Amino acid sequence: MIVIPALDLRGGKIVRMERGDLATETVYADDPVAQAKAFVEAGAKRLHVVDLDAALGRGNNLSVIRDICRAVSVPVQVGGGIRIGQHVQARLDAGASEVILGTVLVDDERVARYIIGQFPEKIIAAIDARGKQVATHGWQESTPVDRDSLVKRVAGWGVQRVVFTEIRRDGMGEGYDIQALREIADAAPEITFTANGGARTIDDLKLLKKDAPAAVDSCIVGSAVYKGTIKLDEALGALT
């Protein structure tokens, strides 16, 4: 099980929220590059960066992403506000190893499929849901789209990995939604999954490794690392 620390960027700083609610935003670091380097020094083999400003349609943090990618020697997967092929190319040019599509998967299937075909093996799908209902635009908009159906569709479009977030658990420290992970893995057994949202302690990570389906080979940690309830180096050692 690979443990991937998250850096959520807003206004050039690292922030975290509860369940995607902007009113709960907390700034955890003013220097994302220094934080990224610290994560790698602690043993992280990959970083997960989300540009919240781009996701919300309020600018972007592309220059910060570029600086992060230049500062570390590990793969950096980048998401947030990716709507067209040029957005993907800009992130790859900035040094991203993979680019994460979310909202466009729901809003414009034609564009999503074009991007996936244009950048083979460089696209990860982000499927964020409250229960069975997918949310988009930085989790601010609910949709009638069924979570499991979307997983099946993106697998058919050629996506090989999905980052799955149960929004109701994100930032809440309630552990990963293992039942939901089982259901989406059953929906698309041909792809692999990264679990996101809910870890508070190393025990949550160990439970994920023990009980999640084999298709879940990695997990993202965010708030717990910044709050200190999970020490990244200990988590990496526990799940190796």
CATH label of the domain that carries residue 235 = 3.20.20.70
Closest residue by Cα to residue 115 from 78, 86, 77:
86
Query: Using CA atoms, how far apart are residues 112 and 31, in angstroms rounded to an integer?
Result: 33
8 part of the active site: yes
Query: Using CA atoms, how far apart are residues 96 and 74, in angstroms rounded to an integer?
Result: 10
Q: Distances from the Cα of 94 to the Cαs of 1, 31, 90, 123, in angstroms?
A: 27, 18, 6, 15
Angle at 208 (CA atoms; ends 203, 210), nearest 5 degrees: 95
Query: Using CA atoms, how far apart are residues 164 and 10, in angstroms rounded to an integer?
Result: 21
Number of Cβ within 10 Å of residue 30's Cβ equals 11
CA dihedral (167, 170, 175, 177) in degrees, to 10, reads: 10
AA letter at 143:
T
Backbone angles phi, psi at 77, to 5 degrees: -95, 135
Helix, strand or coil, per DSSP, at residue 116: helix
Rg of the chain in Å (alpha carbons): 16
Tokens of 155: 């697998």
Q: Which domain holds residue 49?
A: 2-239
**DSSP E strand boundaries for the chain:** 2-10, 13-18, 21-29, 47-51, 76-79, 98-101, 123-130, 133-136, 141-146, 161-166, 192-196, 216-221
Going residue by residue through the chain (240 aa), what tens digit of pLDDT does each one get?
Answer: 999 999 999 999 999 776 666 777 889 889 999 999 999 999 999 999 999 999 888 999 999 999 999 999 999 999 999 999 999 999 999 999 999 999 999 999 999 999 999 998 999 999 999 989 999 887 788 999 999 999 999 999 999 999 999 888 766 667 899 999 999 999 999 999 999 988 889 999 999 999 999 999 999 998 899 999 999 999 998 887
Please state the domain count of the chain.
Answer: 1
Q: Which of 128, 170, 177, 204 is catalytic?
A: 128
Q: Distances from the Cα of 75 to the Cαs of 53, 95, 154, 166, 231, in angstroms?
A: 22, 9, 23, 24, 21
pTM for this structure? 0.93
211 part of the active site: no
Q: Distances from the Cα of 61 to the Cαs of 30, 68, 97, 108, in angstroms?
A: 13, 11, 17, 24
CB-based contact 230:202 (threshold 8 Å): yes
